[in-house]
């Protein structure tokens, strides 16, 4: 079972996404701040990070870059269209709010899909 780290400071959105991801079969840890998310990333058992951009103590983009540097796939979610170009320039995968459950599940499946071995 894949372990997702979901970082969102809005408790309503956090609860909805957490429930949907658990129903889809993922183990989910949640955080509402960059500090809490970093502590969970440091534990070393996260398979993917999903983070909002605007967090009370920092920026989800820098958190996503930190995860990618550790080899952890990341997905950034935002409701602010002004962030879209910055995310594209940072080479980060993103989803614009509002989105449907199937859209985030599809992005997660693609990011966690095993890469085929050469010559297979």
Q: SS3 breakdown of the chain: % helix, strand, coil, rounded to 5? A: 45, 20, 35
Whole-number pLDDT of residue 103? 96
Measured in residues, the chain has a length of: 120
Look at 27 and 119; give whichever has higher pLDDT: 27
pLDDT, greater one: 25 or 90: 25
pLDDT-based confidence at residue 97 (cuts at 50, 70, 90): confident
- Residue 91: alpha-carbon gap to chain centroid: 14
**104 pLDDT above the threshold of 60:** yes
Helices (H) and strands (E) in the chain, counts: 5, 7
Please answer whether residues 53 and 80 qualify as being in contact, where contact means their C-beta atoms are separated by less than 8 angstroms: yes
pTM for the full model? 0.89
SS3 call for 111: helix
Band (117; pLDDT cuts 50, 70, 90): very low
| pLDDT tens-place string over residues 33-84 | 999 999 999 998 999 999 999 899 998 999 999 999 999 999 999 887 766 6
């Amino acid at each position: 079972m894949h372990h997702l780290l979901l970082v969102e400071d809005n408790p309503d959105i956090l609860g909805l996404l957490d429930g949907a991801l658990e129903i889809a079969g993922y183990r989910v840890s949640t955080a509402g701040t960059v500090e809490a998310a970093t502590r969970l990333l440091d534990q070393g058992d996260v398979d993917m990070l999903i983070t909002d951009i605007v967090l009370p103590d920092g920026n989800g983009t820098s958190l996503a870059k930190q995860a990618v540097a550790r080899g952890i796939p990341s997905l950034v979610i935002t409701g602010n269209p002004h962030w879209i170009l910055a995310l594209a320039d940072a080479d980060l995968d993103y989803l614009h709010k509002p989105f449907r459950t199937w859209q985030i599940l599809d992005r997660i499946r693609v990011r966690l899909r095993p890469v085929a071995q050469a010559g297979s």
